Amino acid sequence: MTMTPDTVMTIGTHALQTTLILAAPLLLVALALGLLVGIFQAATQINEMTLSFIPKLLGMAATVVIAGPWMLKVMMDYTRELFESIPGLIG
């Protein structure tokens, strides 16, 4: 397998898919917490900016602690696969 435009597109597509998979847990937690805090602020009419920031920060930190090992494994698998494909790309 040599470096063709199809190969480049495949590598790029796989990189984008991996990025989306890694970002999904963090983005979903931020979305859910933002929605909950927004509903709470609308119900109580409290418009404090730190009220929306602190729960998101804590939720994202908890998500990284919980999903971090899985995210690291996915990233390492992708990197290993990419490095192992280098000899085939240049040969």
**Digitized pLDDT (tens) for each residue of the chain, 91 residues in all:** 678 889 899 999 999 999 999 999 999 999 999 999 999 988 988 888 788 889 999 999 999 999 999 999 999 999 999 999 988 888 7
Residue 50 is predicted with a pLDDT of 80
Q: How far apart are CA 84 and CA 78, in angstroms?
A: 10
Residue bearing tokens 């418009």: 47
Query: Do 88 and 1 touch, CB atoms closer than 8 A?
Result: yes
Residue 9 is predicted with a pLDDT of 94
Query: Do 19 and 79 touch, CB atoms closer than 8 A?
Result: no
Query: Do 14 and 8 touch, CB atoms closer than 8 A?
Result: no
Structure tokens at 61: 């930190």
Q: Is the pTM of this model over 0.85?
A: no
